[in-house]
């Protein structure tokens, strides 16, 4: 079962969908119309996730699946890779989607993506964006130094 929180009306952050039931919950109860996945294929293998079934459930539910991997537990990769999921989130929201952003546990990569989005596209400081995310998802703990590097906000 996923663990998630709503950050804004159309942005949810949480853990990875582990079954088709999770996709049903996202699409049905939460009215999610797109899933932005930050996991890599290696993550799917490591955690034995039935990704083919999960993607098929997305198709059946009319939920768009977008994968923009960022390596887990790797701040350097986050600094180099985070722009792609941030831009993908903006594209999905601009298209009117209600988006579920997830990594494995919904603690670092997914919240980091939302922080980056709020900074880049909503003009918030990284600190204010983090505060908003943490108000709604207290377990959020993105690599802020990596985000500062990615968005040229180093001290």
Pairing between β-strand 4-8 and β-strand 11-14 as defined by DSSP bridges: antiparallel
CA atoms within 13 A on the CB side of 86: 21
pLDDT at 154: 78
Name the residues annotated as catalytic: 103
pLDDT at 155: 64
Question: pLDDT tens-digit profile of 21-68?
Answer: 999 999 999 999 999 999 999 999 999 999 999 999 999 999 999 999
User: What is the CA 115 to chain-centroid distance, rounded?
Assistant: 10
* pLDDT of 152 higher than 70: yes
Rounded Cα distance between 38 and 74, Å, is 13
Element of type H or E holding 100: strand 99-102
Query: Which residues neighbour 52 within 8 Å (Cβ) at sequence distance 6 or greater?
Result: none
Domain ranges of the chain: 4-148
pLDDT at 11: 99
**Fold (CATH) for 4-148:** 3.90.190
Mean pLDDT value across residues 119-128: 98
């Amino acid at each position: 079962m996923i663990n998630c929180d709503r950050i804004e009306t159309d942005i949810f952050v949480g853990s990875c969908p582990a079954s088709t039931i999770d996709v049903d919950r996202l699409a049905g109860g939460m009215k999610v119309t797109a899933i932005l996945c930050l996991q890599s294929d290696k993550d799917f293998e490591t955690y034995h996730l039935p990704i083919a079934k999960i993607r098929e459930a997305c198709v059946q539910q009319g939920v768009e699946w977008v994968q923009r991997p960022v390596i887990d537990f790797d701040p350097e990769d986050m600094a180099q890779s985070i722009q792609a999921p941030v831009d993908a989130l903006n594209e999905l929201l601009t298209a009117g989607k209600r988006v579920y952003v997830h990594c494995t546990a919904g603690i670092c990569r997914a919240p980091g993506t939302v922080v980056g989005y709020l900074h880049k596209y909503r003009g918030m400081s990284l600190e204010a964006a983090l505060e908003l995310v943490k108000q709604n998802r207290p377990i959020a703990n993105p690599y802020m130094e990596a985000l500062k590097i990615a968005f040229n906000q180093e001290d």
